[in-house]
Amino acid sequence: MDSINIIKGYNKVNHTHENQPPHKSSTTTTQKRISTAATVAAILFLTLFIGLMLAALIHESTTEPPESSPSLSSSSNSAESIKTVCGVTQYPDSCFTSISSLNNNNLSLISQKNPDPETIFKLSLRVTINELTNVSSLFKTLNERHSEAALRDCTSQFEDAVSRLNDSMSEMEVVGPGDKMLTERKVNDIQTWISAAITDQETCLDGLEEMGSTAVDEVKAMLKKSKEFLSNSLAIIAKIHMLLHKFDLTMH
């Protein structure tokens, strides 16, 4: 009996141990699950972090204005200034286009925070001088036998007109210590000289028409730009006080 009980007890003990789950395997599985969860959490956090960083960079690039170079800002100011000044002329489009087409060295004169109508007028005057000089040289290329004398007169008259405009430019450029670029006297003189240049151009056409020149239409086409530029310059200087006031400036 004792031997039978011992065997039964042995079997009972073994059965109990067999039914007990293995502690080591359960612990290992739990650790793996925790490790996997931690890894997934870390990946999600990293993904979220990267996403937030990218969103912040995109927001910054779209909301912050790009750094504009001084030349770009200056160019914008210059264009608005030219448009404002040219707005007082009879030919605002040709005024704006002709002045804007000047080289960068000339445009840099008005690339400033407070644009200057006096300087813009100088540019208009320079445009006019360049055009009249070009027209004067073109007269020498015309071959009109019956109006050679009239064409010579036109050449002389345009050279005289260019001289008057150069005098106007000199009045503004030759400024002594304490003097102003423009004064009342200078404004009156410049208006007189530009008006005389307009008269020279009209006299040229009148002479060709009186001579019955067949080149009249060709000359009129040649003078289209110079006529507009002279008109523009005269309008600007005639209204220089109003323009200066609009820019909160005075003659200087």
- Please give the full DSSP string across the chain, using - where no structure is assigned: -HHHHHHHHHHHHHHHHHHSPPHHHHHHHHHHHHHHHHHHHHHHHHHHHHHHHHHHHHHHHHHSPPPPPHHHHHHHHHHHHHHHHHTTSS-HHHHHHHHHTS-HHHHGGG-SSS--HHHHHHHHHHHHHHHHHHHHHHHTT---GGGHHHHHHHHHHHHHHHHHHHHHHHHHH---TT--S--HHHHHHHHHHHHHHHHHHHHHHHHHHHTT-TTHHHHHHHTHHHHHHHHHHHHHHHTHHHHHHHTT----
Mean pLDDT of 123-150: 89
**Given this model, what pLDDT does residue 10 score?**
46
**Given this model, what pLDDT does residue 58 score?**
64
pLDDT tens-digit readout, 137-180? 998 888 777 788 889 999 999 999 999 999 999 999 888 787 88
pLDDT tens-digit readout, 176-201? 787 888 999 999 999 999 999 999 99
pLDDT tens-digit readout, 208-220? 999 888 889 999 9
